[in-house]
Amino acid sequence: MKRLIPIYGILFGLGHQVAWACDLCKKNQPKGFENITHGQGPTGNMDYIITWSAILLVIVTLFFSIKFLVRPREHEPDHIKNIVWDHNLREHGGQ
């Protein structure tokens, strides 16, 4: 495992060079997307709607993921864990 750490470090260090757009692609991209990707950027309004919808969905998902990881509220009686435990305890003669 310790031998893999330098290899991962090198791959991580070199990986960001591949991820950024080249100078020609950077020049041809619309404003706001200059250094993100190679090739043609968004061409119409629908592309921007799809892109911003995906960004919004990721942000909302990240928010709720962090929220429920920090405060899962497992002590409430209607939490799924308590429903399953209560059902199994009653079914199998638990206390």
Nearest Cα neighbor of 19 from 44, 37, 42 is: 37
pLDDT, position 66 = 95
Is residue 1 helix, strand or coil?
coil
Q: What is the pTM assigned to this prediction?
A: 0.53
State pLDDT tens for residues 26-76.
Answer: 777 777 777 776 677 778 899 889 989 999 999 999 999 999 889 887 777
d(CA 85, CA 89): 6
Distance in angstroms (rounded) separating the CA atoms of residues 46 and 53: 10
pLDDT at residue 95 tops 60 = no
Q: Is residue 94's pLDDT more than 60?
A: no
User: What is the secondary structure of 17-56 as a DSSP string?
Assistant: HHHSPPHHHHHHSPTT-TTT-SS----SHHHHHHHHHHHH
